[in-house]
Amino acid sequence: MIKKELLDRAKEIEKKIVKKGEEIAEVVKLPDSPLFGKWSSKGITVIDHGLKDYISLKPVYLPKSFGRNARQKFHKSNYHIVERLMNHIPVSGHKGKKQWWCTGKQLGQGMTLLKIMVKTLELIEKRVKENPIQVIVRAVENASPCEEVTTVQYGGIRHPKAVETSPQRRIDLALRWITQGAKKQSRKSRKHIWDTLTDEIIAAAREDPKSFSVSKRNEVERQARGSR
């Protein structure tokens, strides 16, 4: 009986603390923290209505969460879009049957990734004369496919079928293709990764067919149109 009373009392105290914290959060408004102290997320627009709730532009100074919410499902939508792009650089993802160097993981280089991201943002701002965060958002919108192909099995026979891509997966695919295109160019030439990443982001933002991510999106959507 005593244990039950203590547990009930602890639950009541916990509820009061949570309620008080929510009230404080509503009253206290955090100031706009420019990204790396240079670029503000204010005024950044997301044209694609399907991606508005999944491209986070919350003010943050250092885009590094240290994986504190890694076990929470779909919590990555709450991370800043620059942090999500930065996290894709060391793990660019599987690339079909050509696994080469893109499937391996190159983790444990947090400071290196931050330096690469800062140099990339500086180069984008220098070349485009625009807020680099807006350029990245536009590149993600242009590189994200709206539909793709899946395999459906009927009685032992497999058929390709076109399906709509979820907003979460659209952003993941766009970020994967952007980083894969940058790594491909960096590996084939003597350019630094921040130079090739800048080229890929600007090309995707302009919807240039020469961009690896845009060409990949067009290829996936063309396959989906043929499987309708």
In this prediction, residue 161 carries a pLDDT of 83
* 104-125 residue pLDDT tens: 556 667 888 889 999 999 999 9
Please tell me the distance from the alpha carbon of residue 187 to that of residue 184, in angstroms, as a whole number: 5
Reported pTM: 0.78
Residue 228: band (very low, low, confident or very high) from pLDDT cuts 50, 70, 90: confident
pLDDT at residue 1 above 60?
Answer: no
User: What is the H or E stretch that residue 151 is in?
Assistant: strand 147-154
The answer to whether the beta carbons of residues 107 and 91 sit under 8 Å apart is yes
In this prediction, residue 24 carries a pLDDT of 41
Q: What does the DSSP assignment read for 4-17?
A: HHHHHHHHHHHHHH
**98 or 132, which is more confident:** 132
User: How open is the CA angle 27-31-33, to the nearest 5 degrees?
Assistant: 145
40, burial (CB in 10 Å: exposed 0-12, middle 13-18, buried 19+): middle
What are residue 162's DSSP bridge partners? 149
* 136-194 residue pLDDT tens: 999 999 999 989 888 888 877 888 888 888 889 999 999 999 998 888 888 777 888 88
Residue 29: band (very low, low, confident or very high) from pLDDT cuts 50, 70, 90: very low
